[in-house]
Amino acid sequence: MPDLHELEEDGQLPDPLSETSLSPVPGLIHRYPDRVVLLVSNRCPVYCRFCMRKRHVGAGNTPPSRDALDKALRYIAATPAIRDVILSGGDPLMLDDASLRHILSHLRAISHVKIIRIGTRIPVTLPERVTAELCNLLKQFHPIYVNTHFNHPDEITPKSAKACDQLADAGIPLGNQTVLLRGVNDNVETMKYLMTGLLEIRVRPYYIHQMDLVRGTAHFRTPISKGLEIIRALRGHVSGMAVPHYVIDLPDGKGKVPILPDTVERSGDTIYLMNYQGEKIAYRDITTPPS
Ligand SMILES: *Cc1c(COP(=O)(O)O)cnc(C)c1O
Ligand code: SF4
């Protein structure tokens, strides 16, 4: 829900990740050499108060124009280093099937684009949008990966589970990106239920995001020690497949960095590794590989 705390200023910026300055053409973010984010929609079924793209999402009612989209597609076609295109927004699945087909078929016509990912919260926020027609459309453009966005085990409902089921049945590997939110999911038990519950609906936890420094979201921030505590409580205690990377997206577009609890100490050739039970176990390393 909207909250007066959103008006508090804490040195936060509308675009702390400098996405706008990393845009070679409007609507395309090119930060890493081999992959780009293509913003194909500025609408969502639900406007999350913690959204990291508040500057863009929900601003006006028009999706990017055909012309802007065509410019972005031309940039991708002219840049052979791009092998992975991530459709994002807003929510890409707010587009109708015909618009999605237009985008996907143009991307698939570019031979160096190997992977297409769709970042969408639709399975949670509007599961009815995942129709048989949509699944049939998507599977014509494989390999398609979908990363969805569950933040709390209460979001795993019969409807959201069914939407994921249909996508998985269309051969789409499903991942999940969770935002660590104060007062919502910043505790070990909630995250354990969420991550193991996601695996049960065939969604593989991918990232837990530390909150970005986006204006109007400071009241959701947690200290980094909280994220590390959660990772420590997951690793070894639940299936490894249920343990996502905990990442910080660095300011100024410097990229995502995974952070881990301190698990390694070294003494000469021996490293001491902390296991999931908190025991320090010696492991013999080599300083020069055997020839
Ligand atoms: C997160 C992000 C990606 C994708 O990163 P992965 O670690 O490959 O999931 C790509 N481009 C931008 C600008 C991003 O913010
Ligand atoms: S669904 Fe994603 S893009 Fe849309 S408002 Fe929520 S966080 Fe932002």
Q: Which string of DSSP letters, residue by residue, matches 119-168?
A: E--HHHH-GGG--HHHHHHHGGG-SEEEEE---SGGG--HHHHHHHHHHH
Whether residue 28 contacts residue 20, with contact meaning beta carbons closer than 8 Å, is answered with no
If one residue of 6, 37, 91 were mutated to test the ligand 2 pocket, choosing by the most ligand atoms within 8 A of its CB, it would be 91
Asked if residue 60 has pLDDT above 80, the reply is no
For residue 11, give the 3-state DSSP assignment.
coil
Give the span between the Cα atoms of 290 and 278, in whole angstroms. 32
Q: Burial of 78 by CB count in 10 Å (0-12 exposed, 13-18 middle, 19+ buried)?
A: exposed
pLDDT, residue 62, reads: 62
Ligand 1 centroid–CA 127 distance in Å is 25
Average pLDDT over residues 252-264: 90
CATH number of the domain located at residue range(s) 4-265 in this protein: 3.20.20.70
Give the span between the Cα atoms of 8 and 268, in whole angstroms. 50
Closest C-alpha to ligand 2, atom 6: 48
Sign, CA dihedral 83-88-89-92, equals positive
Asked if residue 136 has pLDDT above 80, the reply is yes
pLDDT, residue 47, reads: 93
Average pLDDT over residues 64-77: 92
Query: How do residues 273-288 score in pLDDT, each as one tens digit?
Result: 988 888 999 999 887 7
Asked if residue 141 has pLDDT above 80, the reply is yes
Q: Does 135 participate in catalysis according to the annotation? A: no
Q: Which two tokens stand for residue 106?
A: 């143009």
Backbone angles phi, psi at 75, to 5 degrees: -60, -45
Closest C-alpha to ligand 2, atom 8: 51
pLDDT, residue 262, reads: 82
Query: How do residues 88-115 score in pLDDT, each as one tens digit?
Result: 989 999 999 999 999 999 999 999 999 9
Ligand 2 centroid–CA 88 distance in Å is 9
Backbone angles phi, psi at 30, to 5 degrees: -120, 90
The radius of gyration of the chain from alpha carbons, rounded to an integer in Å, stands at: 20
Q: Where are the alpha helices (DSSP H) in the chain?
A: 66-77, 97-108, 122-125, 132-138, 158-169, 188-200, 224-234
Query: How do residues 175-225 score in pLDDT, each as one tens digit?
Result: 999 999 999 999 999 999 999 999 999 999 999 999 999 999 999 999 999
Q: Counting ligands in written order, which one lies closest to the CA of residue 20?
A: 1
pLDDT, residue 234, reads: 97
Q: Does 212 participate in catalysis according to the annotation? A: yes
Q: Which two tokens stand for residue 42?
A: 């500025």
Specify the DSSP class assigned to residue 250. E
pLDDT, residue 261, reads: 87
Give the span between the Cα atoms of 169 and 146, in whole angstroms. 13
| Pocket residues: Cβ below 6 A from ligand 1 | 29, 31-32, 35, 37, 86, 256
If one residue of 31, 248, 254 were mutated to test the ligand 1 pocket, choosing by the most ligand atoms within 8 A of its CB, it would be 31
Report if pTM > 0.85: yes
For residue 179, give the 3-state DSSP assignment.
strand
Give the span between the Cα atoms of 77 and 107, in whole angstroms. 8
Banded model confidence at residue 10, pLDDT cuts 50, 70, 90: confident
Residues shown for the chain: 291
Place of tokens 């991530």: 86
pLDDT, residue 117, reads: 98
